[in-house]
A and B are shown apart, each in its own frame.
Chain A
């Protein structure tokens, strides 16, 4: 194998009827032959490492491999069809055929070899000692899903909205409340204020004892405007003895 050149490396292992790799290669670098169940053969001298075969292979059974990139590091590229995608420069955990971690690698490039086809190739720089075994990478956690978690149920404010507010400098319960409405709903922050406090503390250097409780305004419980407006001109009670008798009757 040519060590310093990026070349297709096929781990197609079964005689199944399939040959897109052969027909898609613009350089004639892959041969299957007339029997469509033959296993493909790569002609290393013809392969230019364009990656088209990686994206067309229905079994995702091809990778690109360069054992030495000139800096004693190896480059592996593999198709990756999950969301979210890694970004250039990300440190990812590369895995073997069984999905077991081999070590860390740095994403050097992302490429879509076929126009209008979403299959993405991820190029990862790894230590040459593990390069032969690398087949893919560990799936990245979908933070979006986590960020869609509802923190304030009453006002349906998500974790993402609160994180954004904290990032914009809202470092108190009141500030987050003003921007996002978290804590302004029916329960008046009884469910979410500790969750929001924890998020502020996690994202900043603030400790929980430094966080003042959110300001509380009357009415402390939800009541209708009518109730608030109809504050009685008559007192609730005048004569305590009469009240006592009345309440006593209620109990009985």
Chain B
């Protein structure tokens, strides 16, 4: 085996990966980004809505535009982005093996940033394997990247921001959202997102769950029912909702497979998506390996970008490429932007969870 050598290998070309690559490359680190997809940007190019935050977070800009800006910056600083390249293994001495076409190649890096993102959670209920049941992210890919609607009448399961935003976008794409439900008694996501679909008269079934996807060959409707205090459905009170698509927006999990292969310690934080690789305040999970973005705890794209930047700066620092005048200051700058994103009703809890996690060290 003949290793190609690089200073920093970033796995994943989403906001976190590109953020890390740009900040490191800006300071003279030779950076290669690999991504299994045909296009860079991760989930950003599916986000046709405007982001929240302040001016420094590019708020008010649509997600895909932020993606374009990041790619432009990456080019400017000489970041190399290798697409259709799947990282399938992480071996000793920071050797990552990637697949291109039908060939595998090994790359040895001084430092690795894992920005592998997240996977969507699913639910199991009767009929959940029928065509027409899909995750909300899959539906979003269909409408915003492939430009086809998955169906005409959509039932959305989950009122987190993903469920709310994808419901809105499905309507923009021409579909009808026949209802949105959540086992919790309150809407999970931002009220402003919820109001976008309330204004379109979409019924909210709070305290409800889907009991069964109905239909012989494919979904023709759903049976939904209120839940008791243990979130068990009260099936006798169930009723029929006509739909041809059931979208599941029931949370995300950090995609930690490569991190575990690398030997990163894992920890558990329910507010950040469950099991995840542990990291310190500079996103370092273990010697030479950093994590950033959703793999380091489920948050959102702007936070992922800042975490990536933090990791990129830390790598440059480790490699002795951080200018004297930047020492300390740059970390504080990024941290303060992160703190702002993690403020308010929902953000405070995430900020506390991150602090707790860093403080308690790796638990397993």
State whether the Cβ of A46 lies closer than 8 Å to any Cβ in chain B: no
With A235-B4, A240-B30, A244-B80 given, is the CB distance from A213 to B256 under 8 Å?
yes
Contact A217 B261 (CB under 8 A): yes
Q: Are A251 and B30 in contact (CB under 8 A)?
A: no
- Judged by a CB distance under 8 angstroms, whether A221 is at the interface is yes
Chain A: minimal CB distance from B232 (Å): 11
Cβ of B336 < 8 Å from any Cβ of A? no
Contacting residues, chain B, for A197 (C-beta < 8 A): 274
Question: Which of A54-62, A67-75, A146-154 forms part of the interface with chain B?
Answer: A146-154
CB-contacts of A215-252 with B (<8 A): 215-221, 223-224, 226-228, 230-238, 240, 243-244, 247-248, 250-251
Contact (A218, B261) CB under 8 Å given A194-B121, A236-B107, A247-B80:
yes
Contacts of A228 in B (CB 8 A): 88, 104
Asked whether B82 lies within 8 Å of A247 as measured between CB atoms, the reply is yes
Within 8 A of B (CB), among A185-199: 188, 190-195, 197
Q: In the assembled complex, which residues on chain A have CB atoms less than 8 Å from the CB atom of B128?
A: 149-150
Q: Which of B60-78 contact A (CB under 8 A)?
A: 75, 78
Q: Does B339 lie at the interface of the complex (its beta carbon under 8 Å from any beta carbon of A)?
A: no
- Give which listed residue, A149, A153, A220, contacts B257 with CB less than 8 A: A220
Per-residue CB contact flags for chain A residues 83-106 toward chain B (1 = under 8 Å, else 0) read: 000000000000000000000000
Kindly list chain B residues whose C-beta atoms are within 8 Å of the C-beta of A250.
83
Cβ contact within 8 Å between A218 and B89: yes
**Contact among B87, B104, B255, B268 for A231, CB-based, below 8 A:** B104
Within 8 A of A (CB), among B20-41: 30, 32, 36
B268-319 CB contacts (< 8 Å) to partner A: 268, 270, 274-275
Q: Are B98 and A236 in contact (CB under 8 A)?
A: yes
The reply to whether the CB of A159 lies closer than 8 angstroms to some CB of chain B is yes
Q: Give the residues in chain A near B103, CB-CB below 8 Å.
A: 227, 230-232
Q: Is the CB of A235 within 8 A of B99?
A: no
- Neighbouring A residues of B125 by C-beta, 8 Å: 149
Is B148 engaged at the interface, CB distance under 8 Å to the other chain? Answer: no
Assembled-state Cα–Cα distance A64/B102 (Å) = 74
Q: Does A26 reach chain B (CB closer than 8 Å)?
A: no
Residues from chain B with Cβ under 8 Å of A223 in the complex = 86, 88, 99, 104
Q: Are the CB atoms of A212 and B97 closer together than 8 Å?
A: no
With a CB–CB cut-off of 8 A, which chain B residues contact A235? Answer: 2-4, 105
Partner of A219, one of B89, B100, B106: B89
Q: Are A236 and B105 in contact (CB under 8 A)?
A: yes
Interface size class of chain A, counting residues whose CB lies under 8 Å from the partner chain: 35 or more
Interface membership of B119, Cβ < 8 A? yes
Interface residue count on the B side (C-beta < 8 Å): 53
When C-beta atoms are compared, the residue in chain B nearest to A158 turns out to be B124
Q: A residues within 8 A CB of B3? A: 235
Q: How far is the CB of A225 from chain B (nearest CB, A)?
A: 11
- Which of B78, B124, B274 has the most chain A CB within a 10 Å cutoff? B124
Q: Are A227 and B124 in contact, with the CB atoms below 8 A? A: no
Asked if A35 CB lies within 8 Å of chain B CBs, one says no
B364 on the A face (CB < 8 A) = yes
| Chain B residues positioned under 8 Å from A194 (CB to CB) | 121-122, 253, 274
Distance of A247 Cα from B105 Cα, bound (Å): 17
Name the B residues within 8 Å of A220 (CB-CB): 87-89, 257-258, 261
Which residue of A is nearest B104, CB measured? A231
B89 closest partner in A (C-beta): A218
Contacts of B43 in A (CB 8 A): none
Asked if B6 CB lies within 8 Å of chain A CBs, one says yes
- The verdict on A190 contacting B119 (CB below 8 Å), with A150-B124, A232-B104 known, is yes
| Binary CB contact string for chain B from 104 to 142 against chain A (1 if under 8 A, 0 otherwise) | 111100000000000101111110110000000000000
Task: Check if A216 sits within 8 Å of B80, measured CB to CB.
Answer: no
Residues of chain A lying within 8 A (CB to CB) of residue B257:
188, 216, 220
The smallest beta-carbon distance between B184 and chain A, in angstroms, is 16
What are the residues of chain A within 8 A of B268 when measuring CB–CB?
208-209, 211
CB of A145 within 8 Å of the partner chain: yes
Most buried by B among A212, A230, A240, A243: A240
Question: In the complex, are the beta carbons of A221 and B36 less than 8 A apart?
Answer: yes
> Cβ of A251: which chain B residues have Cβ within 8 Å of it?
75, 81
- Tell me which residues across on chain A come within 8 A of B104, comparing CB atoms: 223, 227-228, 230-232
Q: Are the C-beta atoms of A226 and B105 separated by less than 8 Å?
A: no
The CA-CA distance from A144 to B306 in the complex, in Å, is 49
A173 and chain B: residue at smallest CB distance: B275
Take A208-B270, A227-B103, A227-B104 as given contacts and tell me if A216 and B261 are in contact as well, using a CB distance cutoff of 8 Å: yes
Question: Would you list 25 pairs from A and B whose C-beta atoms are within 8 A, ordered by A residue?
Answer: A141-B235, A150-B129, A151-B124, A153-B129, A193-B253, A197-B274, A213-B266, A215-B260, A218-B261, A220-B89, A220-B261, A221-B88, A223-B88, A227-B103, A228-B88, A231-B97, A232-B2, A232-B104, A235-B4, A236-B98, A236-B107, A237-B4, A238-B4, A240-B6, A240-B30
7 closest residue pairs by CB, A with B = A218-B89, A236-B105, A219-B88, A220-B257, A209-B268, A231-B104, A235-B4
Q: Which A positions have Cβ atoms within 8 angstroms of B?
A: 141, 145-146, 149-151, 153, 159, 188, 190-195, 197, 208-209, 211-213, 215-221, 223-224, 226-228, 230-238, 240, 243-244, 247-248, 250-251
